[in-house]
Amino acid sequence: MRLLLLHVDYIEYRAREKTSIAEDVPEDMLQGRAENALAVFTAVERGDTEETARRAAEEVLQTLRRVGAERVVLYPYAHLSSSLAGAETALRLLRVLESSVGAEAPVTRAPFGWYKSFELRCKGHPLSELSKEIKAGKESTALAAEKKLKSEWYVLTPEGELVPAEKFDFSEHERLREVYEYELRGTRAAEGEPAHLRLMKEHQLADHEPGSDPGNLRWYPKGRLVKRLLEERVSELLAEYGAMEVETPVMYDLAHPQLSSYLNRFPARQYIVLSDRREYFLRFAACFGQYLMMRSMTLSHRHLPLRVYELTRYSFRREQSGELVGLKRLRAFTMPDMHTLCRDMEQAKQEFLRQFELSMRWMQEVELEYEAVVRFVRSFYEENQELAAELAKKLGKPVLVEMWDERFFYFVMKFEFCVVDSQKKAATLSTVQIDVENATRFGIGYVDEAGERRTPVLLHASISGGIERNIYAMLEQAYLRSAMGEKPALPLWLCPTQVRVLPVSERSMGYAERVLERLLKMRIRADLDDTPETLQKKVRRAEKEWVPCICVVGEREAEEGMLSVRLRSTGEQRKMSPEELAELIEAECRGKPFHRLPLPVRLSERPVFRG
């Protein structure tokens, strides 16, 4: 589909004469006029689909928002292409385009198949004349299979009992029930604004970027700090686990035989880009580069298990517009990806268990409440029931089990740690998969003790899941805690401001500044509220920002060399020295990465990053 988009002062058209393919339209559609409009001259081409039309609608709406036009005028214009679709297809897709745009903005469509006269005046600014070529996204066979997927659901208890889900008593496992019900609904579409969307803006962490494709974010200094700390911590955990960090390209040849084959086995929509008349796709994970790297390696059985890791900043998935929501589901996201080569299935199962435990550790460090979902091909489950039972035993609570009678994807088993948000929707964080296809597909091999070449078993792992989605989960669960009367908070090691110093009056400012300097030297993220407001307002602001330690300093504290500290986590008020406070914070954050606050330490000097 080809589009010519013009931001016009006005456009006026009149239908003059029917052609042999003209649509029948009511009288009022034969002419029209619109002011401050986005005129969209449109040609539907061979190969275009309804997905193409919906993608075109997204481009139109994005341009409408950028130029500030009040209305869209769709004008069929065959002269944009020499490869036109048939009339019936063209009209059908124009109507899809019209309804998709009309769901979010006023739209007028000129009649199809008529000779028309038109007059317009283009505004003439840098964005007033744009041309677009829209191609249908590639839908994998796995994505198509996912739509038809039929499965049975069970709950596996820590005692190893497998109970059909409809017969399980969820009365003491409400979150697990919510995950199960979400899976049964089978829709990812957003329903209203989720709680974390407001919170990420209020706390000046992140926001949508109107100058980019939907599902892409801008990160403000505090949000970038939180994101960086999470990225570094998961990288540290994987390095300790023995993963070797690598870096691979973000773009791959769509015609590459192994890569194109793998695309069809992964349930994700792709971004396609053109370069030198060749089509490339943007990676949705680190799989492609790591597989090709492993294929080139010389490996023996002594090297296994072999773990390779990359923090993909960014991975790209062209999620449908109705599914895009805040930090939960993005089109460009940060994904820590590790792939493990194992000599055989027994070693793969051992690694699977270890990576399950590592994922449990991650969820503990980010202080998230979660449920486990384990998905099996039935034949694999029947041969490995003890492995499934071990997972529930390690977790210490029931897990939800999905069972397929046949294998739709490249894996025979995977687990997912899921969180539930304020809308009772589930989202996956940590996950590990046992892959039985791709080592063969990519020609990855190792030499065994007898000198024979063997094919390893692959594990895909994202110990944390998407970094942005971790922040979504923390904000959503903080909101849920506040709804229950508890104080919302982030883990202390992730709080942008760990300590805020509040001078009682101007006379206390000198001591407050000395306290701040001491805390900063002890690697504490501290700041100073030096604004000319009352102490009550300063305390209220710190509470609203979820600052975990509020230090009030007045003349008495200055005389004693102490601090009056309010601890958000317990509600306690304690007298402490700066050193005692630093020791308390250091003890709770021990082993976690640290970075200084990327903002001025004086609140009076800070800009506001949200409108």
Say how many domains are in the chain.
3
**pLDDT of 142 strictly over 60:** no
Residue 94 in any domain: the answer is yes
Which pLDDT value is given to residue 18?
A: 92
CATH classification at residue 64: 3.50.80.10
Beta bridge partners of 132: 3
The answer to whether residues 118 and 158 belong to one domain is no
| Across 356-360, 402-406, 588-592, least confident range | 402-406
| Across 135-144, 218-227, 272-281, least confident range | 135-144
Give the closest residue to 418 by CA, choosing from 192, 245, 120, 173: 173
Using 50, 70 and 90 to split pLDDT, how confident is the model at 268? Answer: low
The answer to whether residues 188 and 316 belong to one domain is yes
What mean pLDDT do residues 229-238 have? 97
Beta bridge partners of 39: 6, 73
Residue 502 in any domain: the answer is yes
pLDDT in tens, 429-485: 999 999 999 999 899 999 999 999 999 999 999 999 999 999 999 999 999 999 999
The answer to whether residues 128 and 30 belong to one domain is yes
Which pLDDT value is given to residue 510?
A: 94
> 133, 165, 183: which is the final residue of a domain?
133
Structure tokens at 150: 């039929």
The answer to whether residues 471 and 518 belong to one domain is no
**pLDDT of 584 strictly over 80:** yes
pLDDT in tens, 512-554: 999 999 999 999 999 999 999 999 999 999 999 999 999 999 9
Residue 139 in any domain: the answer is no
Q: Is the dihedral of CA 298, 304, 310, 315 positive or negative?
A: positive
- Of residues 101 and 277, more confidence is placed in 101
Which pLDDT value is given to residue 280?
A: 83
pLDDT in tens, 462-473: 999 999 999 999
> 77, 103, 133: which is the final residue of a domain?
133
What rounded mean pLDDT belongs to the chain? 90
Residue 173 in any domain: the answer is yes
Give the closest residue to 51 by CA, choosing from 133, 113, 120, 135: 135
The answer to whether residues 35 and 155 belong to one domain is no
CATH classification at residue 530: 3.40.50.800
Structure tokens at 401: 């089990």
Tell me which residue range forms the domain holding 453: 150-248+297-475
Using 50, 70 and 90 to split pLDDT, how confident is the model at 193? Answer: confident
Which pLDDT value is given to residue 265?
A: 61
Asked if residue 441 lies in contact with residue 262, where contact means CB atoms within 8 angstroms, the answer is yes
Which pLDDT value is given to residue 440?
A: 92
The answer to whether residues 157 and 127 belong to one domain is no
**pLDDT of 355 strictly over 70:** yes
Is 46 exposed, middle or buried, given 0-12, 13-18 or 19+ CB atoms closer than 10 A?
A: exposed
What mean pLDDT do residues 55-84 have? 91
Which pLDDT value is given to residue 35?
A: 95
The answer to whether residues 449 and 419 belong to one domain is yes
Give the closest residue to 444 by CA, choosing from 580, 287, 586: 287
CA torsion 293-299-301-303 (nearest 10°) is -70
Using 50, 70 and 90 to split pLDDT, how confident is the model at 611? Answer: low
Cβ within 8 Å of residue 56, ≥6 positions away = 1, 3, 42, 97, 132, 134
Residue 201 in any domain: the answer is yes
Is 576 exposed, middle or buried, given 0-12, 13-18 or 19+ CB atoms closer than 10 A?
A: middle
Residue 273 in any domain: the answer is no
Residue 278 in any domain: the answer is no
**pLDDT of 225 strictly over 80:** yes
**CB neighbourhood size of 275 (10 A):** 9
What mean pLDDT do residues 590-600 have? 95
| CA atoms of 606 and 504, how far apart (whole Å) | 21
The answer to whether residues 526 and 462 belong to one domain is no
The answer to whether residues 181 and 304 belong to one domain is yes
Q: 53 in the Ramachandran plot: left (φ > 0), alpha (ψ -120 to 50) or beta?
A: alpha
Residue 319 in any domain: the answer is yes
Q: What is the 3-state secondary structure (H, E, C) of 195-249?
A: HHHHHHHHCCCEEECCCCCCCCEEECHHHHHHHHHHHHHHHHHHHHHCCEECCCC
The answer to whether residues 69 and 155 belong to one domain is no
pTM greater than 0.85 (yes/no):
no
Residue 45's SS3 state is strand
Which pLDDT value is given to residue 254?
A: 76
Which pLDDT value is given to residue 266?
A: 59
The answer to whether residues 119 and 162 belong to one domain is no
CATH classification at residue 402: 3.30.930.10
The answer to whether residues 343 and 224 belong to one domain is yes
Q: Outline where 489-552 has alpha helix (H).
A: 509-521, 535-544
